[in-house]
Amino acid sequence: MMIAAVGESMWKNGAACGTTYTFRCTGPTNQCTGNSVTVKVVDRCAGCQANQFNLSQEAFTMIAKTDAGRININYA
């Protein structure tokens, strides 16, 4: 389940649903796995700031260690 939710400004009343993004963790090596992951937007994240994403656990663990919590990313 490589899915994500996006902040309200990116959600745009559902227009972002189905959009795909590829993420790579840019934090310290003790947080990042070195992998990238492509996810599909399926929901909005009410608690997220403008350019924040909430990744599914499966997607997050592809790019970062579970205990990292919040991480810095590059995405396209």
CA distance 5 to 40: 9
Where does the pLDDT of residue 51 fall: very low under 50, low under 70, confident under 90, or very high at 90 and above?
confident
Whether 32 contacts 25, CB under 8 Å: yes
Residue 24 — very low, low, confident or very high, per pLDDT cuts 50/70/90?
Answer: very high
Residue 50 has a pLDDT of 84
pLDDT (0 to 100) of residue 55:
97
In whole numbers, what is the pLDDT of the chain averaged over residues? 95
54-69 pLDDT, tens digit per residue, is 999 999 999 999 999 8
Q: Take residue 56 and report the two structure tokens written for it.
A: 């599914």
Q: What is the pLDDT of residue 60?
A: 97
